[in-house]
């Protein structure tokens, strides 16, 4: 089953945690909206090259087992995904989202020498704040600093 043209159900629900990770119909609706509004447009922006999906949906059990995960994580609602570039840098992915797409929250996660380890992005059907942050640790979130992230 596919969520969208380039996102499968298996990618959206994969986890290394030994716990049930099946989204409800409402969560599935949110995942499809995230794919429609963020993932698929981002694929177009990178020339339809693959983007690695690290995490999308997390059940409360899965989320609780992941060190540093917030109890209020949008992953638990199917509204967030963690991604990595395969043919573009993670910094480039984040900048493309920031400059071209509507989103709720965009986090450049654990940047080292200007390159984030991955990009967290969320989309909400109710309110999208376009909040851009950098994360340096489990509770160390700072406002985005353009000078600390590599340019495209």
Tens digit of each residue's pLDDT (9 = 90 or more) over 106-132? 999 999 999 999 999 999 999 999 999
Asked whether the whole model's pTM tops 0.85, one would answer yes
| CATH class assigned to 2-148 | alpha beta
Pairing of strands 131-137, 105-109: parallel
Overall average pLDDT of the 32-36 stretch: 98
- Give the model's pLDDT for residue 67: 85
- Decide if pLDDT at 69 tops 90: no
Overall average pLDDT of the 4-11 stretch: 98
d(CA 18, CA 12): 16
Q: Are 58 and 9 in contact (CB under 8 A)?
A: no
- Decide if pLDDT at 152 tops 70: no
- Give the model's pLDDT for residue 151: 84
């Amino acid at each position: 089953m596919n969520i969208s043209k380039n996102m499968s159900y298996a990618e959206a629900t994969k986890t290394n945690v030994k716990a049930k990770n099946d989204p409800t119909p409402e969560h599935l609706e949110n995942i499809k909206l995230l794919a429609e509004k963020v993932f698929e447009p981002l694929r177009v922006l990178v020339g339809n090259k693959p983007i690695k999906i690290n995490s999308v949906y997390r059940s409360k059990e899965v989320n609780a087992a992941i060190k540093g995960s917030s109890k209020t994580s949008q992953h638990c609602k199917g509204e967030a995904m963690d991604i990595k570039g395969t043919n573009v840098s993670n910094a480039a992915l984040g900048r493309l989202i920031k400059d071209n797409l509507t989103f709720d929250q965009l986090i450049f996660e654990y940047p080292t020498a200007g390159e984030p380890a991955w990009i967290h992005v969320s989309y909400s059907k109710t309110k999208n704040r376009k909040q851009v942050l950098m994360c340096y640790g489990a509770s160390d979130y700072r406002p985005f600093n353009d000078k600390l992230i590599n340019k495209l």
